[in-house]
Structure 1
Amino acid sequence: MVVLGPTTPQSGVSAPSADLCLPQRSRPSTPGIWWLGTHGGAGESTLASVVPGSQSADHAWPITSPSARVMLIARSNLNGLLSAQRAATDWASGSLPGVDLVGLLLVEDSPGRSPRGIRDLERLVGGGVPRVWTLPWVESWRAAPASAQGLSPRVRRSLALLPVFPVA
């Protein structure tokens, strides 16, 4: 799925209430890209272990100097999409100076096609971020540590489309 949305925060968008926003955390370094999981289990540490030059943001907006390139990550289920929507709204409000939002990576939460309601919500949420990519289900990551070794050609192609460093 490729959805193109706004590339900069938008005037007139209000940030969600503070209790619904991800925290902000000052960071001393700026990797090639920060993976920001919008909820637990989104996959940020998994991707940080597979993509060299990237780092997990530990579920907090990284505040760095110079600006931080951030990729939101969410599972393709209701909870994941709603948390991604809140994070996208927070970014769109302009309350995160120095954050360069690259887009949203949706990590499939199961093999096979998602239900229609989930696909519709993916398109809705995707309209609030610069771009959306989808990472297919990776069965091997369920029972073993994440590794770039042995990834299917489909997963490798999906990762190659991301504007990040090459997969190890």
Structure 2
Amino acid sequence: MWWVGCHGGAGVSTLARLVGFGLDFGKGWPTLTPAMPATQVVLVCRTSAAGTWAATGAIEQWRRRSGMSASMTLLGVVAVAASPRRPPRIATERLQLLRGWAPQIWRVGWVDALLAADDPRDVGAPPDIEALRTTIWQRARMNLDGKR
């Protein structure tokens, strides 16, 4: 499974470390090769106007399958809080719109302690990350079992 950022600073590296599985692919859709014919992707964005706009573009690319293999499965989008405050209305509205396009939308809250950590694993996974880990792992396994 690959974590793919919809934009820079989405939190892909931090999420991949906290969840403990999957590969941080950075920004942009993975290119599949014959040696790796299929993969599962989770998109990551910030819950901001710019972040949700970038997620909208990434979802549109996936819906059109622009330059990507049909064997690529999108598990969903993780929207990471951009601040400890309530997200702007435009971001909330865009996430609501994305619910109709993406297989799943997950939201992850703000964690102040991560700002001071060299490695996010030193902080430990908060409850919403633990729930995300379980849900994505189950969804990934379900997709793999269904393709066998």
TM-score (norm 1): 0.70
Unaligned runs of 5+ in 1: 1-32
User: Percent identity, aligned pairs only?
Assistant: 32
The residue type equivalent to 2:17 in the other structure is S
Indicate which of 5, 8, 15 corresponds to 1:47.
15
Aligned-residue offset at 1:108: 0.6
CA RMSD of aligned residues (A): 2.0
In structure 2, the partner of 1:94 is 65
CA distance in 1, matches of 2:105, 2:49: 16
1:24-35 equivalences under 5 Å are 33-35=1-3
Indicate which of 51, 66, 89 corresponds to 1:80.
51
Unaligned runs of 5+ in 2: 139-148
CA distance in 1, matches of 2:79, 2:119: 17
> Are residues 71 and 152 of structure 1, via their aligned partners in 2, closer, same or farther at CA, if it must alter by over 3 Å?
closer
For each residue in 1:86-132, what CA deviation from the matched residue of structure 2 results, as whole angstroms up to 9, or x when unmatched? 00000000232131100100001111322333211210123221110
Q: Structure 1 residue 131 and structure 2 residue 104: aligned?
A: yes
Aligned length: 133
In structure 2, the partner of 1:115 is 88
Q: Structure 1 residue 36 and structure 2 residue 9: aligned?
A: no
Aligned-residue offset at 1:137: 0.6
CA distance in 2, matches of 1:143, 1:150: 9
Q: Which has the higher contact order (CA 8 A, sep 6+)?
A: 1
Q: Structure 1 residue 143 and structure 2 residue 131: aligned?
A: no
The residue type equivalent to 1:140 in the other structure is A
Checking the alignment, whether the CA contact within 8 Å between 2:10 and 2:44 is kept in structure 1 is yes
> Are residues 134 and 158 of structure 1, via their aligned partners in 2, closer, same or farther at CA, if it must alter by over 3 Å?
farther
Specify which structure has the higher proportion of helix. 2
The residue type equivalent to 1:147 in the other structure is P
